[in-house]
A and B are shown apart, each in its own frame.
Chain A
Amino acid sequence: MNVVSGVLIVAGAALAMIGGIGAVKFRDLYSRMHAAAKAPTLGLVLVAIGAAIAIDTLLAYTTLLLVVILQLLSSPVGAHALSRASRRQTPVALDGPDDLTRDETAAATRLADPTD
């Protein structure tokens, strides 16, 4: 294990830790999801690059590449499915104004329409 892989692994682990802190500290569901879905994904990419440098076999290269691709595909899909389901089913307490219930397009076209 050299210095480059060690620094990459520690940086990725620090990103995953930041995701965990965000899941505790943020105040509504979507903010928590924002922290919990994105930061550990980049952390996984950094840790996988560092581990591929450290282990240095063909099996490790291919497996870690596959893991990174799968995580980059599945993490946004899972977060989107979860936020869509909870948005449809439950009135979640939001930290700030709810920009999804106010129809901004309709308000703008009503202003622009002279016959209205």
Chain B
Amino acid sequence: MTAFALVLLAVGAAGFLFRLLRGPSLSDRVVGLDGLQSIVVIAIIVAAARSDSGITIETVLVAVLVGFVGTTALSRFIERRGN
């Protein structure tokens, strides 16, 4: 069950990675990066449920906070510098 979920997450991560690499604008790359961060967060939770241990679950908090700070910082950067 969780293996199938990880396969689905890999397909979604491929989509976001395509958007991150392809562009065309910097904002599109930030969209790809933000989505990739969401996928990584979900994948860590799925891996924790797969191993039935809550040890790795605390890293999810760090991933969520880093992703939010990254997106906000990049959008401030775009607002100041343009494209």
Chain A residues with Cβ below 8 Å from B75 are 78, 81-82, 84-86
B side interface size, CB within 8 A: 52
Dominant SS among interface residues on chain B? helix
Chain B residues with Cβ below 8 Å from A67 are 41, 45, 60-61, 64
Known: A20-B39, A70-B61. A77 touches B68 (CB 8 A): yes
Chain B residues with Cβ below 8 Å from A71 are 38, 41, 64
Known: A74-B64, A74-B68, A82-B78. A20 touches B11 (CB 8 A): yes
Would you call A54 and B64 a contact (CB within 8 A)?
A: no
Would you call B15 and A43 a contact (CB within 8 A)?
A: no
Please name the residue on chain B nearest to A5 by beta carbon: B49
A binding-site residues for B, Cβ under 8 Å: 1, 5-7, 9-10, 12-14, 16-24, 29, 32-33, 36-37, 40-41, 43-44, 47-48, 50-51, 54-55, 57, 59-60, 63-64, 66-67, 70-71, 74-75, 77-79, 81-86, 88-90, 92
B binding-site residues for A, Cβ under 8 Å: 1-2, 4-6, 8-9, 11-16, 18-19, 25, 27-28, 30-32, 34-35, 38-39, 41-42, 45-46, 48-49, 52-54, 57-58, 60-61, 64-65, 67-68, 71-72, 74-76, 78-79, 81-83
